Amino acid sequence: MVSLSPALPAVPTVVARSPGYWSGVFTRLSRDKLAMAALAILVLIVLMAILAPYLAPADPAKATMLRRLKPIGTPGYPLGGDELGRDMLSRLIYGSRLSLIMGVTPVPVAFVIGTILGVTAGYAGGFLNTVIMRTADVFFAFPSVLLAVALSGALGAGLLNAMVALTIVFIPPVTRIAEAVTTQVRSLDYVEAARTSGAGAAKIIRIHVLPNVLGPVFVYATSLISVSMILAAGLSFLGLGVRPPEAEWGLMLNTLRTAIYTQPMVAALPGIMIFITSISFNTLSDGLRSAMDVKA
């Protein structure tokens, strides 16, 4: 039965609080063993990149022609030597730095830009929506690898150009997802209710739209990191990314191509690193997706 006591003075009430949405997500994620294993591997790879100078047994740039293409297990060269006689283990450790920077950076940048564009298009609707979304459609008309190659090919080889190209590749899909979710959220009654309270667009977007849009867009963006890692290393593999003699996994794969006849195991090593990183990002992203899917 409804109790209708007269207006109470506003006394601070001790309130039982439910755990928030994100804490629920992290609890569920932490129970996902596969995702946690992937996270552990990624933490190790990041640590490897940060601590490279302390971990690497040798100078990754020191070439010795006498020790070219040594097999795995050569004394002093635990993972062999590359085509210029440089220590593979050290180069793989150092390679994680540029590979991670090049592969990961474009995604958060594209996430921020794409979300701003998508939410703007979705909330504003009308002409602004048409301009933003039709432009995104044009970029969508290019297969992602082609667009990345075309842009970095036109901009010229180089780490920064490759990263710019990848960012441009990932902005349209993020924009499209953000726009779709925003359009959907915007028509929900709670946004209408917020409008009846007289709140301005900025406040409604901040409190009511963004918190409900960011989740799905974030999950989508995390799934892009794996793609980005492969594409970034691929650009270096094509000679469009990092320039020799820098250590980067994709570039190492390229320069070791001729070694497949003499030292196939050594030649395949950088690819294994790309593979492990990419599959870990993918698994973590999948775990995050199912951890977030529980309740809308």
Partner 1 sequence: MLSYVLKRMLLILPVALGVSVVCFLLVHLSPGDPLTAILPTDASAETQAEMRKLYGFDQPLPVQFVLWLGRVLTGDLGTSIATGRPVAFEVGRAVVNSVILAAAATLIGFFFGSLFGFVAGYFRNSWIDKLASFLAVIGVSVPHYWLGMVLVIIFSVQLNLLPATGGGPNGSSDARSLDWDYLRFLILPAVTMSVIPMGIIARTLRALVAEILSQEFVQGLTAKGLLDRGVFAHVVKNAAPTAFAVMGLQLGYLLGGSILIETVFAWPGTGFLLNTAIFQRDLPLLQGTILVLAMFFVVLNLVVDVAQAAVDPRVKRS
Partner 2 sequence: MTGPLSPASTRNAESVWPPEVWRAPKKTVLDPRDRGGPAQPLLSVTGLVKHFKVGGSPFGEGTVVRAVDGVDFDLIKGETLGIVGESGCGKSTTARLLMQLMPPDAGRLVFDGEELGGALSLTEYRRQVQMVFQDSYASLNPRLTIEDSIAFGPQVHGLPARQAIARAHDLLDRVGLEPARFAGRFPHELSGGQRQRINIARALAMNPRLVILDEAVSALDKSVEAQVLNLLMDLKQEFNLTYIFISHDLNVVRFMVDRVLVMYLGKVAELGGRDAVFNQPAHPYTAALLASMPSMDPDHRVERPPLTGDPPNPINPPPGCRFHPRCAVAEAVCSVKEPEMAATGTDRAGARHAAACLMRAAGSGHSRAPAVAVPA
Site membership for partner 1, residue 260 (CB under 8 A): yes
Q: Given the complex with partner 1, which of 211 and 264 has the nearer CB atom?
A: 264
Residue 47 and residue 142: Cα distance in Å, rounded? 36
Question: Closest separation between CB of residue 226 and partner 2, Å?
Answer: 28
- The answer to the question of residue 201 lying near partner 2 (CB under 8 A) is no
Phi and psi of 225, rounded to 5°? -60, -40
Residue 141 has what DSSP assignment? T
Q: Which is nearer to partner 1, 63 or 238 (CB)?
A: 238
- Report the site for partner 2 in 236-295 (rule: CB under 8 A): 295
Q: Per CB under 8 A, does 238 bind partner 1? A: yes
- Asked if 33 touches partner 1 (CB under 8 A), the answer is no
Find, among 228, 104, 110, the residue nearest to 177 by Cα. Answer: 110
Strand blocks (E) in 65-169: none
**238: its two tokens:** 């094509």
Smallest distance from partner 2 to CB 287, Å = 21
For partner 1, the binding residue among 90, 115, 129, 144 (CB under 8 A) is: 144
In contact, 280 and 130? CB cutoff 8 Å: no
Q: Is 77 in the site for partner 1 (CB under 8 A)?
A: no
Nearest of 220, 232, 247 to residue 278 by alpha carbon: 232
- Shortest separation between residue 172's beta carbon and partner 1, angstroms: 11
Q: Which of 37, 199, 268, 289 binds partner 1 (CB under 8 A)?
A: 268
**For the CA atoms of the chain, what is the radius of gyration?**
25
Token readout for 198 is 């007289």
Cβ distance to partner 2 smaller for residue 59 or 137? 137
227, two tokens? 């793609």
Under the binding rule (CB under 8 A), the answer on residue 202 touching partner 2 is: no
> Is residue 285 within 8 Å of residue 225, measured between CB atoms?
yes
Exactly one of 44, 112, 131, 146 binds partner 1 (CB under 8 A); that residue is 146
Judged by CB under 8 A, which of 24, 71, 108, 153 binds partner 1? Answer: 153
Measured CA to CA, the distance from residue 66 to residue 61 in angstroms comes to 15
User: Which of 57, 137, 190, 245: binder of partner 2 (CB under 8 A)?
Assistant: 190
14 lines the binding site for partner 1 (CB under 8 A):
no
For helices 144-155 and 210-237, angle between their N-to-C axes, nearest 10 degrees: 60
Whether the bond between 245 and the residue before it is cis, its omega within 30 degrees of 0, is yes
CB under 5 to 8 A by kind: which of partner 1, partner 2, none does 125 bind? none
Q: Does 240 bind partner 1 (CB under 8 A)?
A: yes
Q: Three-class SS of residue 226?
A: helix
Interface ranges with partner 2 (CB under 8 A): 1-5, 7-8, 10-18, 20-21, 188-190, 192-199, 203, 207-208, 211-212, 295-296
